[in-house]
Each structure stands twice: as C-alpha cells, then as structure tokens.
C-alpha cells in the first residue's frame, strides 16, 4: 500500500485524492520546510505540496521511496526539478486549472485601480459622498496594457480586455513575434514596455532571471500614472521600491494578489497605502477551480504510482530551470 504525504493547506482536499487512490494511505501534515518533509515522509511514495513548501535536493537524497512530487498549482519554483530527475522522481503541476480565474482577478484589480473603486468605497463607508475622493481618474479606452510574459493567463487576459479598446503589448523573449501578432499583441523589449504601458500586468514565473524584475529602476522608467498588477509571484517585485514609488507618486497605483512573504508583515508599508490594493493570493480560487486542482493532482499521483508518465510531468530539461 502506497503512502501519500499531503501538505496541510486549505486548497488541498485529501478526500478527493483518497477517492482516486483507494488503496493508498493519505497523511496530511504541516510541511513548512525540508526538515518537516523528511521527518514525516520516510515511507512516502508521493508528496503533494503547495507553493509554500520548499522541496530542495536534500529531500530526494533522504526519501528513497519517493516517486512523485505533485505540485498543487501552476508554478513549481519551490521544487528542485533537476534534483528530482536525478533521483528518478517525477514532478508534476496543474498548469491550467485557474487560468480563467486569475485572468479575471487580474482584470478586476486593474479596473479597481483605474476607477478607484476601493477608495470610493472606503470614503463612502466613512460617511462621505464625493466624486472628488478618487481624483484623478483617467479614461480606460485607448490606453496601453503591457503584459510581462505571454503564457496562458496573459493570453486569457488579453481576450478579456478586447472590448475595452486597449493597445496591448507584451515582453516575452520565449514567444515568437508572429505568435503574439496573431493574438493582437505587439512584441516589445522590456524597456519599451515600461516606457509605453499605462498598465503593467505581471505573469512571469519566478526564476533567477525574473527575481526582482520590477525594481527601483523599472519603476522609475514607468509613466507616473502607471498601474502595476501582479497575479503571478511576489518575488517579481522589489516591494520596498514599489512602496516608495507609490508613496512618492512615481507610479499611480498597484493591485497585488501575491507578495514575497504571504501574508505580508503587519508593518509592510504596502498595507498602509491608499493606492495599493491587496488581495490574499485568491486569484486562483473558485469552487470549480479547487475541484479541478484536486482531481488533477490525484490523477497525476495515480499515474506515477502505476508506473505511467503523468499527464502534467515537468520536463527537467526546460531551458529556464
């Protein structure tokens, strides 16, 4: 009987996993670090983790029974995929379960920042009734949306904004210009995107190349009314530089669903800024997305334990790993 170790996270539903693997033993444990994984997983054939559970090379060295690490989500930067392959452990993810949800959430953050919805709400709830509370508000049509990375979520967001008459540009060195052109997007350099975009929406994976991509220099290169939306990974942004840029009026606003530390520290300056909208890494969530996530994780694990190649196996030879 195979043992499956599941990180203790509310987005995971061990009952769904157990339903697809009736002959397996499912154990749910808090897994905040490598030490906890090794202590709990000595007999585990499968490890199911969320983004907050780091799985470094040393885990594979110490858990010889392990056959699969199933990442419950899209990104997998918390798992050493190359080390896993060296120990004959397959790594999987769930690449498209929340594409619609995150694209919609990103658009909601953007529209909120454009129309100052949260600011109007706070002022009205406090007893006010003045359109001036949101000044300045600019027209949305005929502005430029810049997409940083052009993967599935960015592409879905591009579809979502078609009716708003935006110019859409994108920076992604891994996507051909012709492919972007077919989607109605102009491929530009990162520097050109920063200079031209009225709204910058981040969709890149977190890698050595993208860590801190939006730093003080990048923020300084943006227009002073620019809006930054991040539904990807908190590590893409230098948050201290962002807080300074927002406070000093170097950019207009930010809508963030992710942060470097989740939740942000109580004293994070981003919490106190009226022009910074924060949501609790909720962009992925819908009832349907959560069900699809758990069902896909279960299928990935079942395939690996049956000696098959899971449908969502991560290729350890990806260029950017």
- Catalytic residue list: 233, 262, 281
Assigned token pair, 280: 């609790």
The CA-to-CA distance between both ends of the chain, in Å, stands at 33
Q: How far is CA 217 from the centre of its chain?
A: 23
Assigned token pair, 267: 């004293």
Angle between helices 152-160 and 99-115 (to 10 degrees): 50
CA geometry: angle 55, 90, 14, nearest 5 deg: 70
Which residue intervals of 172-286 are DSSP H helices? 177-182, 190-196, 216-221, 239-247
3 state SS of 248 = coil
Residues in the chain: 321
Q: How far is CA 288 from the centre of its chain?
A: 18
Q: How far is CA 240 from the centre of its chain?
A: 20
Q: How far is CA 246 from the centre of its chain?
A: 22
Helix H or strand E segment including 171 = strand 167-171
Beta-carbon contacts of 4 under 8 Å, excluding residues fewer than 6 positions away, are 17, 21, 24, 25, 26, 27, 44, 45, 46, 47, 48, 301
Dist. CA 260–CA 228, nearest whole Å: 15
């Amino acid at each position: 009987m195979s043992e499956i170790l599941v990180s203790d996270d509310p987005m995971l539903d061990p009952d769904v996993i157990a339903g697809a693997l009736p002959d397996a033993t499912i154990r749910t444990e808090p897994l905040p670090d490598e030490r906890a994984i090794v202590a709990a997983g000595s007999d585990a054939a499968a490890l199911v983790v969320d983004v907050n559970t780091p799985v470094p090379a040393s885990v594979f060295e110490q858990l010889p029974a392990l056959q699969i690490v199933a990442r419950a989500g899209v990104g997998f930067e918390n798992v050493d995929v190359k080390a896993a392959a060296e120990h004959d452990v397959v790594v999987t993810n769930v690449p498209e379960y929340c594409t619609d949800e995150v694209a919609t959430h990103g658009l909601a953050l953007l529209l909120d920042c454009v129309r100052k919805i949260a600011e109007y709400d706070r002022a009205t709830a406090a007893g006010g009734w003045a359109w001036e509370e949101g000044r300045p508000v600019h027209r949305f049509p005929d502005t430029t949306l810049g997409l940083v990375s052009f993967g599935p979520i960015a592409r879905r967001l591009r579809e979502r904004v078609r009716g708003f008459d935006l110019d859409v540009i994108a920076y992604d060195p891994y996507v051909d210009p012709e492919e972007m052109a077919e989607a109605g997007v102009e491929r530009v350099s990162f520097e050109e995107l920063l200079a031209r975009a009225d709204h910058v929406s981040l969709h890149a994976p977190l890698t050595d190349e993208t860590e801190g991509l939006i730093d003080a220099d990048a923020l300084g290169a943006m227009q002073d009314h620019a809006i930054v939306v991040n539904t990807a990974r908190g590590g893409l942004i230098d948050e201290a530089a962002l807080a300074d840029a927002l406070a000093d009026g170097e950019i207009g606003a930010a809508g963030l669903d992710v942060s470097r530390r989740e939740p942000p520290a109580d004293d994070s300056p981003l919490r106190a800024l009226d022009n910074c909208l924060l949501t609790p890494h909720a962009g992925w969530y819908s009832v349907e997305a959560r069900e699809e996530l758990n069902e896909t994780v279960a299928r990935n694990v079942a395939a690996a334990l049956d000696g098959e190649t899971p449908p969502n196996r991560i290729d350890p030879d990806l260029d950017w790993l």
